[in-house]
Structure 1
Amino acid sequence: MTTTSPPLAGPVATAAAALAAQQRRVSDLLARAAGLPVRPLAPEARRRLVDLGHFPAYTGELDWTPDEVAGHLRDSARVFTDRIERIGRGTRPALPDFVPDAPERVAGYRATPPAVLVAELAGAQEGLLRAVAAVRPGQLALEGVHEVDGPVRLADLLTFLPAHQRDHAEQLAALVGG
């Protein structure tokens, strides 16, 4: 009797699975945050998060409430879905900058009812996951040109996205005490 191992997951399947896991974690943490009093990060949690992932470049995001994190993840899911689709067409598109902490953007998060943010986030997250899962392995080397950061490969986005979700899940966990 011979047995065969299941095929190894490719980089797209791995990225999609990691993204889905972090998206579920974000969703669960936002559900726990609903109705809790808003409180700032404890100094120890803030110090830990400052060293995590993308937060060294975006420490201002650590002042956000869970609702503001939801709004940010909604917007970033929309932006990255668009980037994946545009790069996937193989035209080396120009990619406009996304300034996550622009005051008018964050004010929009504050002005939107939390239930609306969470519902819109769920839809945007689903779209992002579909876009990631639809990438074909042969597309991973395709790139776009970000107006600030220069060339961005599709493979780089697929690596970044689960880590970005993880960073904000860690932030939410620190905010809700979990």
Structure 2
Amino acid sequence: MDHRSMVGLSKRMSRALRHEPARLGLIPDRAGWVPVDDLLAALRVDRADLDTVVAGNDKQRFAVERGPDGIDRIRANQGHSIPVELGLPPAVPPERLYHGTGADAVDSIRADGLHRGGRHHVHLSADVETARRVGARRGGAVVVFTVDAAAMARDGHVFHRSANGVWLTDAVSPGYLTPGR
């Protein structure tokens, strides 16, 4: 599978598992899991291609496991706009986390902070390089904000860490943010 095909299938899988499962006749359980065979049929792809995307996705967006019923299942690790309970326990974050964004969003973020929008959480990165990559996905200039996660945690904000290392929280107020370059 070439890189372009892999990216295209990854986007289709993300839409199906994170945003519009019903559109494809998929019914995720409360934790967002869908039988692999159901996703394969809905997307009309084979298991080898799905496994290639899961293994080769640079952001490790998907998890595959054998369910208690013996059936292989798949879900997105985070980023859902549909109701899901990922079952992630609270976690103590590192002192600093990072959020990459386009330069056009800087003024709004400085004024209002980071909000989850239509998703369940704000997504934060553990390192500047990952935040920069995330911020660059829409093209244009990228600004990376530093989040004072240690202060947020001391002030009672709850963090979770997804299976692929993305840090999640409900919101980040402007006082905890420092814009970078």
Instruction: Give the alignment's TM-score, normalised by structure 1.
Output: 0.23
More strand by share: 2
More helix by share: 1
Higher RCO, Cα 8 Å, sep 6+: 1
Instruction: Give the alignment's TM-score, normalised by structure 2.
Output: 0.22
